[in-house]
Structures are given as C-alpha cells and as structure tokens.
Amino acid sequence: MRVTIRDVARLAGVSISTVSRVLNNPDAVREEKRRRVTEAVAHLGYRPNPVAQSLLRKVTGGLGVLVPFVSGEFFSEFLHGIDRAARDAGFFILISTSHYDTDELATALHGMGPRVDGLLIMAPTMDLGSLSGLLAQSSPVVYVNTPAKEQHVDLILFDNYGGFYGLTRHVLALGHRRVALLRGPARASDARERLEGFRKAMAEVPEAERIELSSELVGYTQEAGYEMARGALALSPRPTALMAANDQAAIGALAALKEAGIRVPEEMSVTGFDDVSSARFAAPPLTTARAPVRELGAAAARQLIARVRGEASEPVRRTFPVELIVRESTAPPPPEFYAST
C-alpha cells in the first residue's frame, strides 16, 4: 500500500499542511516539528507526488520546443541535441509544430505555455515583434534561427550567410560560371540568408551567370529539389552546377539528374547544405556545408535551462560557424563548357 502524506502527518503528530510546508518550504517550520516530519518521512519511506509538487511550486520540469516541422533529418538532429541537454539537467521536453503557419504557431504557444517552465522557439518565418505578441506568459524564451535584430533576447543560430557564401566560392573556384540556386522557402529567414550568401559570391565573379529557381512546394524537401532540378534541365544553356538550399533538396535534385541520364559530377555538379547523415551516403556523396545542428539544439536548451533556474544574466547571442565539406558531387565543369564560353 502506498504511503501518503496523511500517514506522515499521523506518525509525526502534526497536520498535513505542516508536512507540506516541511517538504516545500522547510525554513518556515520550527526545527522540532521539522525534525519529527523528516524522521517520519524516512521511517515510512514516503515519496512526494511529483505532479502535486510541481503544482505547488508552479514548476513543471518541462521545456516547450516549437519547430516548423518534426520530419526530416535536420529536425531529428536538432531535437536530439535538445533532448540530451534537457535529460542531463532533469527536464523533459514537450514538442509542437507550426508548419510555417501563424495560427498553428499561436495555438501551439497557447497550449504549451502553462505546461512548461520555458520555451525554445524556432520560427524562421516570423519576426520577433510578431512572436512576442503571441506569447501569453512571461516564461523564459530562447530563440533559434529566428529573425531578431533586437539585442535583449537569447538567440542561438548558425551562419547561413557565411556558409553558403563559402560553398558558392568553392563552386566558382572549380570553374563553374552558370550556377543555379535551388532556393529554399521564400518566407524563411535562413533561406534568405543563404540566398544572400549565394548572390554575394556570384557578384564577385562578373562573368558568372546567376540562376535562381524556386518551387511552390512547402519546406526544404526532396520533392521541391526534384522539381527545381527538372526546371534547371529545361534551360538552354543549362547550368553546370546546381546548389540546393539544403541536403534534402539536393538529394531530390540528384534523383532528377539520374532520371535524365545526367552524370554527377562529370556533367553537372550538385551541392547541399546542413550535412545531414544522408548527405554522406548519397550517390555520389554530397559536397555541402556542415551546420552543427545537434550542437545548436543542445546550446539552446542549456541556455533556456539556465534562464529557468535563474542562472543567466545578460542575453546571449551566439552564432555557430558553418564548415565547407567537399565530397564527390562537385568537380570542374565539362570540357564543352569551356568551348562555349
């Protein structure tokens, strides 16, 4: 039979409310009563109900995580980093999604708010002012890869601009001069930053021809990459390199090229971004930019936990660098390219 707080009170000769105060605010109880209660707890092996304790303390032990999607390797890695950091600190995580939809995002925030001690928000399609208006509680918030020019918030992100700039410079250094970008979602700030990095690098080579393709499909998906790659193949002259906004789109592009009988990298080079695990096992393995996705999630979770525990002071703004990873999907353009330029 489970020992209850009533049993502890009876053995200690005190009221139930006194036992509760000893368990939750021992300094408010006189030493003699506190000793009797603690001895009764030890003798009976009583363990407080964690749900009841969280209600009393107004602490849940949970962290809310709001992301656009949970599908795909990027979000799997990101959530893995959060989960590990939260578990190590004794927190659980509650996950919800927005699908780039403002109404869904508002509903998720409203539902998670009272059930967690803090929020970790990735909302690349919304500015901070709009997000702040949706937050109904004053719980700590850490933003990840979310547009925020304001300096008074915690923001953890990686260098989308610099990473794509370096990746484009690599493609240009190989000799490519007709380069197509398979763009990410137009509303997403990270996609816009990668676009800016691409444009900056291309502008530094005056003779280079910049091609930008987009898709009506939502998100960074293989389907979108496949569709845009087919569009690139319909161009005349066609590009000699396709730069996808992420690895999933690049894998879709590889499928379209294989279907069309185009050899990679002999006839066309392909790059991705993120360096998810499937990038290493694509055929051929993808040249990409390695974003430290798992580390990003862990760092954001640790900062949020520090906020929840009152251990953080000044707002943190941290940008993780992105590393160029050269694999077998890029090479100099085919000889006929030089003959036509």
CATH code for position 39: 1.10.260.40
252 lies in the same domain as 274 = yes
Tens of pLDDT along 112-148? Answer: 877 899 999 999 988 777 776 777 556 899 999 988 7
* CATH code assigned at 101: 3.40.50.2300
Domain edge (last residue) among 57, 79, 95: 57
CA 332, distance to chain mean position in Å, is 33
Task: Using DSSP bridges, classify how beta strands 323-325 and 288-290 pair: parallel, antiparallel or unpaired.
Answer: antiparallel
Give the global pTM. Answer: 0.79
271 lies in the same domain as 300 = no
What is the band of 109 on the pLDDT scale with cuts at 50, 70, 90? confident
Domain count, the chain: 3
Q: Is the pLDDT of residue 59 over 80?
A: no
151 lies in the same domain as 175 = no
Domain edge (last residue) among 57, 77, 96: 57
Q: Is the pLDDT of residue 51 over 90?
A: no
| 149 exposure class (CB count in 10 Å sphere: 0-12, 13-18, 19+) | exposed
139 lies in the same domain as 195 = no
Find residue 180's DSSP bridge partners. 211, 242
173 lies in the same domain as 268 = yes
Cα distances (Å, whole numbers) of residue 189 to 148, 206, 315: 10, 27, 21
Q: What one-letter code names the amino acid at 32?
A: E
208 lies in the same domain as 188 = yes
335 lies in the same domain as 206 = yes
> Which of 33, 117, 103, 101 is CA-nearest to residue 69?
101
Q: Tell which wins on pLDDT, 150 or 192.
A: 192
274-305 b/e (C-beta count within 10 Å ≥ 16 → b): bbbebbeebeeebbbbbbbbbbbbbbbbbbbb
203 lies in the same domain as 274 = yes
The predicted structure's pLDDT at residue 54: 47
Sign of the Cα pseudo-torsion (87, 89, 90, 96, in order): negative
245 lies in the same domain as 282 = yes
Percent of the chain with pLDDT over 70: 91
CA distance 34 to 21: 9
Q: Tell which wins on pLDDT, 300 or 151.
A: 300
| 129 exposure class (CB count in 10 Å sphere: 0-12, 13-18, 19+) | exposed
Q: Is the pLDDT of residue 181 over 60?
A: yes
Q: Is the pLDDT of residue 299 over 70?
A: yes
Give phi and psi for 197, each to the nearest 5. Answer: -65, -40
Q: Is the pLDDT of residue 57 over 70?
A: no
45 lies in the same domain as 88 = no
The predicted structure's pLDDT at residue 340: 53
Tens of pLDDT along 196-206? Answer: 999 999 999 99
310: domain range?
A: 62-156+293-318
244 lies in the same domain as 132 = no
**Section 207-211 average pLDDT:** 97
246 lies in the same domain as 170 = yes
**What's the chain's average pLDDT?**
89
Tens of pLDDT along 20-34? Answer: 777 766 666 788 888
Helices 247-259 & 222-233 angle (0-180, nearest 10): 50
